[in-house]
Structure 1
Amino acid sequence: MGVFRAATVQMCSGVDPHRNIETMERLVREAAGQGARYVQTPEMTGALQRNRKALDAILREEKDDPVVAAGARLASELRIHLHIGSTAIDRGDGMIANRGYLFSPRGETVVSYDKIHMFDVDLANGESWRESAVYTPGAEAKSVSLPFAELGFAICYDVRFPELFRAQAVEGVEVMSLPAAFTRQTGEAHWHVLLRARAIENGLFVVAAAQAGIHEDGRETYGHSIIIDPWGKVLAEAGSTGETVILADIDTAEVAAARARIPNLRNARSFKLAPRIQAGGGAG
């Protein structure tokens, strides 16, 4: 649909939403000042807080949430499409939504997206996470037609579910967003290969803003905010720590070109899974 400059904001969000908002504003202004029309912040921009009681104390419903208000105001002031990767929102039923927001240059909410796949894992170093104990998963994949691109939505752990990306690519999505707070352990092993694979197998751009460094609540995130083209080439990448902005110019014509060279979306065939064959024992 056109050429536009995209930016990701890399943060190391703490437990105080107001301090995080100050950091977000500074970095978003920096990105807009460098010509970005679409700016994405990481998963849990508002706060990273493992303690449930402390998290409950800072939670707000959508209409009262300071991150949502700041995002709408900034988008309007800077005349950009601002994508708050996600923030914790009080659903009013004792559970929380891990919810991202895209704001238009008029400060209006274009779309909100609730993370679908919950990070319920036990890692090799004893690190354990149970997102489903706190957050209610989303149930809808979402995309939006912007003036410069067809944009799809995913958050962090969603990247391990290629069917989410494939469904949106088949519907014409050209750019997939993936704001994240990847753990250092899983990021070192899988961040780059997963994101490049999603870009290559679907012939689309991937834009992923990340949390980075050691956070106030004790967790460590991998960083490496990244922008990848439909051929799997890394266009821009941040480091493993530090608050920063990366930018890349995205030409959506490259999506059609990649899909023409490798037309796997068009060549896909349905199939059925045959019953597993039971092999016999060895020779007697």
Structure 2
Amino acid sequence: MSEARPAPETVRVAAIQMNSLGEVDPNLARAGDLLADAARRGARLAVLPENFALMGAHATDKLHAAEPDGPGNDPGNNPGNNPGNNNTPIQDFLSQTAAEHGLWIAAGTIPIASPEADRVYPALCVYDDTGQRVARYDKIHLFDVGLPDSAEAYRESATFMAGSNPPMVIDSPFGRIGLSICYDLRFPELYRRLAADGAEIVVAPSAFTYTTGTAHWHILVRARAVENLVTMIAPNQAGHHASGRRTYGHSVICDPWGQVQSEARSEANEVVIADIDRTRAAKLREGFPCLTHRRLA
């Protein structure tokens, strides 16, 4: 039996935690089941984690799964109107699933072809409840790091091309939504820009490593919520992947006061649900106007 939808002043949202595999098709099937569950439970906005469609055994696997930027941009590209198109299975899936369930989906990330054959854009695409794509944000901060006291190292710039897009905030029936991805969480100036542009909700689809997640995941997500008085929806990858990488899980939804409303507790696929008060950010900003007290640009 479906759970009752919340009152009009609240909106039910979902952070979709995944343990993504090394092939696209089973990941899309798994994401489809999780999104259907979120919709059945009354969610109107669902956020998928970074690399939800592919966590390959090799960094270059994403190049073979790269798609041209396409379906969801206009009704003519909707898979329902173009069933013969098989060049963009991930985007087709997202557009069709959003329309099928009447669900807004923020899907981070999709490998979108770039001008360079050996790199792709890591794109966070947002689809409305009719299946129309309403936004695309390409990750601007790439995870090129070596972890302290460890041989663990990553160089996303080897296969990803950083986005040149400005910070992005979009309108929705649930308020203004700011877009960010994973490593972006370590750059508070981005979130300040999103807040200045009117963001009330910020999504942060992620694939935090187990090492960095254990140390910093909750601190960063909660800090971005507190600093900017926004709701943070932060789904994460979880568990072991084909490459041997382990991700942290603990997908969270935080309110604008930095309180964790809901959190995943396993390293499995999981739908994290919370009802968020659409008026809370505005009330907090009025009574606790720290955003207007800034003295440094």
Instruction: Name the counterpart of 1:138.
Output: 163
- Aligned-pair CA distance for 1:78: 0.5
Matched pairs, number: 271
Which residue, out of 102, 121, 136, partners 1:79? 102
Determine whether 1:212 maps to 2:212: no
Determine whether 1:68 maps to 2:96: no
TM-score by length of 2: 0.88
Cα distance per residue 1:211-268 (max 9 Å; x no partner): 0000112110000110000111100000240001010011121101222232111010
SS state at 2:99 partner: helix
> 1:146–1:121: structure 2 CA closer, same or farther, 3 Å change rule?
same
- Aligned-pair CA distance for 1:59: 2.5
RMSD: 1.4
> 1:162–1:79: structure 2 CA closer, same or farther, 3 Å change rule?
same
Q: Which has the greater radius of gyration? A: 1
Instruction: Name the counterpart of 1:99.
Output: 123
Where does the alignment leave 5 or more consecutive residues of structure 1 unmatched?
272-284
> 1:54–1:230: structure 2 CA closer, same or farther, 3 Å change rule?
closer
Where does the alignment leave 5 or more consecutive residues of structure 2 unmatched?
1-7, 71-86
Distance 2:231 2:162 in 1: 25
Matches within 5 A, 1:121-200: 121-123=145-147, 124-139=149-164, 140-200=166-226
Distance 1:220 1:52 in 2: 15
**Contact 1:2–1:148 under 8 Å retained in 2:** no
SS state at 2:280 partner: helix
**Contact 1:14–1:217 under 8 Å retained in 2:** no
- The worse-fitting range, judged by mean Cα deviation, of 93-102 and 24-33 is 93-102
Amino acid corresponding to residue 91 of structure 1 in structure 2: S
Determine whether 1:88 maps to 2:111: yes
Which residue, out of 259, 272, 276, partners 1:246? 272
Cα distance per residue 1:53-96 (max 9 Å; x no partner): 43333323233321111000000011111111212222242220
**Contact 2:63–2:120 under 8 Å retained in 1:** no
Amino acid corresponding to residue 56 of structure 1 in structure 2: L
- The worse-fitting range, judged by mean Cα deviation, of 185-194 and 140-149 is 140-149
Determine whether 1:29 maps to 2:52: no
Distance 2:56 2:205 in 1: 17
